[in-house]
Structure 1
Amino acid sequence: MVIPVHDVNPVRRTPYVTYALIAANFLVFLATPGVASSLTGESGLAQLCHLQAFLDHWAAVPRELIHGQTPTTVPTGDVGVGAGGPGCVVGPPGYDKSPELSVLTAMFLHGGWVHLLGNMLFLMIFGNNIEDRMGHIRYALFYVACGYAAAYGFALVNADSADPLIGASGAIAGVLGAYLVLYPRARVWVLVPFLIFLPLRLPAWIVLGFWFGLQAVYSSGTGVSAAGTVAYAAHVVGFLVGMLLAWPLRRGTSPPPEPRGLLWGRRARPRW
């Protein structure tokens, strides 16, 4: 596993959409019920019930996306006591949920700080160049399209799942796919864990190709436990759709500047 920290690929314009997406994700996360527990490590039944009700309302659910039917009873956010002891109260939903719109709202929901910060790191490093190449409006539409494709792609292979699907990973995977198509030779500074974190500067095609390879392997169920909650199939679909949508832009894309001085994490030898 490598952790990207910076790419050597300057932009010509301020990535306002990327900044706005990052800000929106943080604001929604801080407004999500139960975020305090992710900071303190504490989690009570009331918080859990409130969070479950919130996700059932705003998260995308594969079964709802494919079959178009929303449940008749959902968690209300209240705590009650039944025959089996304390638990979350369920009842008729007090809202009308649109499964199609839930894909958009789910893109701004995250399950914890690690989930959020990991996604925003990738979006910050690679999103600015894709926005710079596509323009603000087209980039925003591209981002949403990749998110929708990722969610519906995952739902198609998990049509009967009632587990909520949340996170910006599918849309960001599309950004990574576009970056691989448009800037495969751009250098990316990464940290590689090997006793300590070693800084290396690698071509984007290695970094992103390795990332995609892991998602493809994990999506098949190899190397992950059955209890895993990461939607790897959504990452694979988003990445491929991002590549496809960016492909027509390859011809007019200027290559990134060739870095000088340091190469592959070590100082390059001068040529004579």
Structure 2
Amino acid sequence: MFLPLYDSNPLTYVTRPYVNWALISITILVFVVFQLPAAEGQPDVLAAAFGIIPSVLFETRVLPPDLAFIPADLTLVSYAFFHGSWMHLLGNMLFLWVFGDNIEDALGHIRYLVFYLLSAAGGGYAHALFNATSEAPLIGASGAVAGVVAAYLILHPRVKIWILALGRIPLRLSAMWVLGAWVLMQIYNLVVAVDSEVAWMAHIGGLISGAVLVLLLKRRDVALFDRGLDLS
């Protein structure tokens, strides 16, 4: 639908969003170092080992010993660092690059890391809960990124964002319209895209998790909904 390019939203509390940079770097590194070399041989092994398999998470199925690298509960976090393709990876990382730094600014470094991981877990658990018997692994940072989107929408709805609409049209719009449309699209797809390979419920779970967590973890003096923002 659109690609975010840049937001006019300077940092206030931190000089550098080190955690956001680290999350992006680690996720890209995992794809390049581990997933690309495995793609020619056994492309599904890493997804099965580190992705969320609902039936394994809820203990109705057991992974073969050679794939049980980590406890099933930890896949609620590990799945967010693996992706199915370059487009899957770059799309998520672009959203994280544009919006994540301001959430880290509003929460602080450590609380932002907690926020990101819990948003990932919330999205992954929502997906598993609504697909409890599935044996298909879920991978991707979309749940965590959805949490970041929800937090940004709550904190900065009036900030202007440059986007590339329909892959070719540059527009500058308020986050309220851009991210609000993105949220509505996730809900719409959840309802109508019954046979889609996209885990829309993970997006919804991430959105709900991020919306709740940002209220609990933000700095006390960070205003909601851009109250006090001078846009003149």
Aligned residues: 226
Distance 1:247-1:115 versus aligned 2 partners, 3 A rule: same
How far apart are 1:34 and its partner, in Å? 4.1
Where relative contact order (Cα < 8 A, 6+ residues apart) is larger, the structure is 2
Q: 2:52 aligns with which of 50, 60, 84?
A: 60
Tell me if the contact between 2:115 and 2:214 (Cα under 8 Å) persists in the aligned partners: no
In the alignment, the residues of structure 2 paired with residue 17 and residue 158 of structure 1 have an alpha-carbon distance, to the nearest angstrom, of 32
1:94–1:11 Cα change, 3 Å: closer
For the Cα contact (< 8 Å) 1:65–1:152, is it kept in 2? Answer: no
Corresponding position of 1:83: none
* Contact in 2 for aligned 1:180/1:205 (Cα 8 Å): yes
* Aligned mates of 2:55, 2:222 — CA distance in 1: 40
Q: Deviation at 1:3? A: 1.7
Tell me the residue number matched to 1:9. 9
Matches within 5 A, 1:116-131: 116-131=89-104
- What CA RMSD, in Å, does the superposition of the two structures yield over aligned residues? 2.2
How far apart in 1 are the matches of 2:171 and 2:63? 50
Q: Tell me the residue number matched to 2:114.
A: 141
How do 1:254-269 and structure 2 match up within 5 A?
Answer: 255=226, 258=230
Structure 1 range deviating more: 52-61 or 139-148: 52-61
Say whether 1:106 aligns with 2:79: yes
User: What is the deviation of 1:207?
Assistant: 0.8
| Contact 2:54/2:131 (<8 A) preserved | yes
Say which is worse superposed, 8-17 or 115-124, in terms of deviation.
8-17
Query: What is the Cα deviation at residue 253 of structure 1?
Result: 2.1
Q: Once the 2 structures are TM-superposed, how far is the Cα of residue 18 of structure 1 from its aligned partner? A: 0.4
- C-alpha displacement of 1:247: 2.8
What does residue 71 of structure 1 align with?
63
Partner of 1:253: 222
1:120-142, CA deviations, whole angstroms, 9 ceiling, x for partnerless residues?
A: 00000000000001000000001
For the 8 Å contact 2:126–2:201, the answer to whether it is kept is yes
Q: Does residue 201 of structure 2 align to residue 233 of structure 1? A: yes
8 Å contact 1:182–1:247 — kept in the other structure? no
Partner of 2:185: 214
Q: Which of 137, 162, 170 is the aligned partner of 1:199?
A: 170
| SS of residue matched to 1:51 | coil
More strand by share: 1
Structure 1 counterpart of 2:182, which letter?
W
Match of 1:51 in 2: 43
In the aligned structure 2, how far is the partner of 1:109 from the partner of 1:244? 25
TM-score by length of 2: 0.89
Change (3 A) 1:189 1:35: farther
Pairwise CA distance, 1:71: 2.9
The alpha-carbon distance between structure 1 residues 17 and 240, as it changes in their structure 2 partners (threshold 3 A), is same
With the length of structure 1 as denominator, give the TM-score of the two structures. Answer: 0.76
**In 2, Cα distance between the equivalents of 1:143 and 1:64?**
23
Q: For the residues of structure 1 that align with 2:220 and 2:213, how far apart are their CA atoms?
A: 13
Q: Percent identity?
A: 39
Measure how far apart 1:219 and its partner are: 1.2
The answer to whether the Cα contact below 8 Å between 1:8 and 1:259 also exists between their aligned partners in 2 is no
Q: How far, CA to CA, are the matches of 2:37 and 2:69 in structure 1?
A: 25
1:189 partner SS: strand
Does the C-alpha gap of structure 1 residues 210 and 16 become closer, same or farther in structure 2, counting only changes over 3 Å?
Answer: same
Q: What is the Cα deviation at residue 225 of structure 1?
A: 6.5
C-alpha distance in 2 between matches for 1:94 and 1:186: 45
Partner of 1:79: none
Aligned partner of residue 43 in structure 2, secondary structure? helix
Does the 8 Å CA contact 1:68/1:99 hold for their aligned counterparts? no
Specify which of 25, 28, 33 is matched with residue 27 of structure 2: 25
Pick closer, same or farther for the CA change 1:205–1:160 going to 2, 3 Å.
same
Deviations 1:17-63 (A, max 9, x none): 000001001100012344586xxxxxxxxx25x12222221211111
> Quick one: distance in 1 between partners of 2:109 and 2:67?
37
Structure 2 counterpart of 1:232, one-letter code: W
2:210 and 2:62 map into 1 onto residues whose CA distance is: 30
Q: Which has the larger radius of gyration?
A: 1
